[in-house]
Amino acid sequence: MSDSKLLEIPFLPDLISAQAPDEVINLLEEKAPRRTIDSVNWIEEFPYHPLTTFTVAHSGEKLYIDFFVRCNFLRAENFENQSPVSEDSCVEFFVEPTGSLPYWNFEFNCIGTINASHRTERRQPTRLTDDQLARIERYPSCGTRPFRELEGLFTWNLLVAIPLDMLGLKYEGFPIEMRGNFYKCASAATQPHFLSWNPIKTDKPDFHQPDFFGKLVLL
């Protein structure tokens, strides 16, 4: 769409040799762009707007995303993969690797539980297998034990690494154009919210809207 945002994702070869999550986070902080998930698309019904940012880069083999959130309620009740993590304190990444259907949805709650699939539309998911999910690295600052909703002032981050070959991509030193969006939500929280990086123009909350994906370029 004409008003789609553009995000250029840098190639950082130093990520290949980074051993610890903190090393990766520091590299992303120093050399990758930081963007804000701040489109409150359904503000009349869901006005709450927790501060949410992300940094993103790739190593030629993996796509690294580090999400940072500051919020007033923290929830992590879903602990089994492929459970409805969007109910919890959740960050998400949807992507069309080839710039067209199918698209992939990767949804993570704050303890790293994942719900992921690829699909041509919302109602026709092909769930990722356990083996595929195991290839997606997740490093949550909240730990991995589930908990009921807490109230206070919380900051948390989640680092994820998604293999490019899982998306059918092979980086050969040339730009790869994709489409996608980044989200923050918590549908079952005391302050439910539905934020996106690229704006979504629908009547009700719905992240499964490829027409409103932004432009992503692996450099």
Look up residue 158 and give its two tokens.
């989640």
Local confidence pLDDT in tens for the 219 residues of the chain: 547 899 999 999 999 998 899 999 999 999 999 999 999 999 999 999 999 999 999 999 999 999 999 999 999 999 999 999 999 999 999 999 987 789 999 999 999 999 999 998 788 899 999 999 999 999 999 999 999 999 999 999 999 999 999 999 999 999 999 999 999 999 999 999 999 999 999 999 999 999 999 999 999
Q: What pLDDT shows up at residue 29? A: 96
Q: Does residue 192 have a cis bond before it (omega within 30 degrees)? A: no
CB-facing half-sphere around the CA of 62: CA atoms within 13 A? 17
Cβ atoms of residues 142 and 74 within 8 Å: yes
Which phi and psi (to 5°) does residue 55 adopt? Answer: -120, 150
- The CA dihedral of 208, 2, 95, 196, to the nearest 10 degrees, is -60
d(CA 64, CA 21) in angstroms, rounded, equals: 11
d(CA 89, CA 111) in angstroms, rounded, equals: 9
Please state which architecture CATH assigns to domain 6-218.
Answer: Sandwich (2.60)
Rounded to two decimals, the pTM is: 0.96
d(CA 90, CA 100) in angstroms, rounded, equals: 25
From the list 218, 210, 185, the residue with the least C-alpha distance to 4 is 210
Q: What pLDDT shows up at residue 1? A: 52
From the list 46, 66, 91, the residue with the least C-alpha distance to 197 is 91
According to DSSP, residue 131 is labeled H
3-class state of residue 35 by DSSP: strand
Stretch (H or E) spanning 31: helix 21-31
d(CA 74, CA 157) in angstroms, rounded, equals: 12
Q: What pLDDT shows up at residue 100? A: 75
